[in-house]
Amino acid sequence: MIFTTPTEYAIRGMAELCGRGGADRPVMLDDLVIGTTLPRDFLAKVFQRLVKSGLLKSAKGRGGGFMLAKPANLISLEEIINAIDGPIHVDSCVVGLAKCNDAQPCPQHDLYRPVRERLKEYLKTTTVTDLAESLKTKQAWVRIVGAKTIEKSKVTNGAY
């Protein structure tokens, strides 16, 4: 995994939220996590940060919950990552050779640049809309193939 666990939850949570109508109306956390493996209370913390970052809006009390702060197609993966991990993360060099950055490049830095640029572009252009769509397609697929294959696929858990 490229991101931290909180960021992964943020991404999955946003996707679920959008898929469950969170673009239009508040969705409760208790509803959001049904049928997922998302840890409710931990996700609550993550969502708090997304609220503070302006990607989500929250409403307390009856009829409350979380909803997207702007249209799903205007929220990119990059924004979600920045909100949780901070912007440094993606820019960091794969190789991990110390004391090397854009201002003070090393050859590896330049070799890795095309990879990094492509990754950044992907993160910039992929939006919550895309994620929700992916989720929907996959859920349909899972429904067709059935539970046995899924159980079997758990062997490759971690390799998504």
Q: Which amino acid is at 154?
A: K
- 146 near a copy of itself, rule: CB under 8 A: no
The option from DNA, a copy of itself, none interacting with 53 (CB < 5 to 8 A, set by class) reads: none
- 156 near a copy of itself, rule: CB under 8 A: yes
Residue with Cβ nearer DNA (62 or 143): 62
Residue 122: both structure tokens together: 């992907």
The option from DNA, a copy of itself, none interacting with 130 (CB < 5 to 8 A, set by class) reads: a copy of itself
Residue 47: both structure tokens together: 């969502």
DSSP 3-state helix, strand, coil percentages of the chain (rounded to 5)?
A: 60, 5, 35
> Which runs of consecutive H residues, i.e. helices, occur in the chain?
5-19, 29-32, 40-52, 77-84, 88-91, 107-125, 128-145, 147-153
Residue 154 beta carbon to DNA: minimum distance, rounded to whole angstroms: 16
Other beta carbons within 10 Å of 64: 13
- 147 near a copy of itself, rule: CB under 8 A: no
Angle at alpha carbon of residue 159, lines to 157 and 160, rounded to 5° = 100
DSSP conformation class of 56: E
* Binders in 64-83 for a copy of itself, by CB under 8 A: 77
Give the footprint of a copy of itself on this chain (CB under 8 A): 1-3, 8, 11-12, 15, 37, 77, 88-89, 91-101, 103-104, 106-109, 111-112, 114-115, 118-119, 122-123, 126, 130-131, 133-135, 137-138, 141-142, 145, 149-150, 153-154, 156, 158-160
Q: Which residues bind DNA (CB under 7 A)?
A: 4-6, 9, 26, 28-30, 39-42, 44-45, 47-48, 51, 58-66
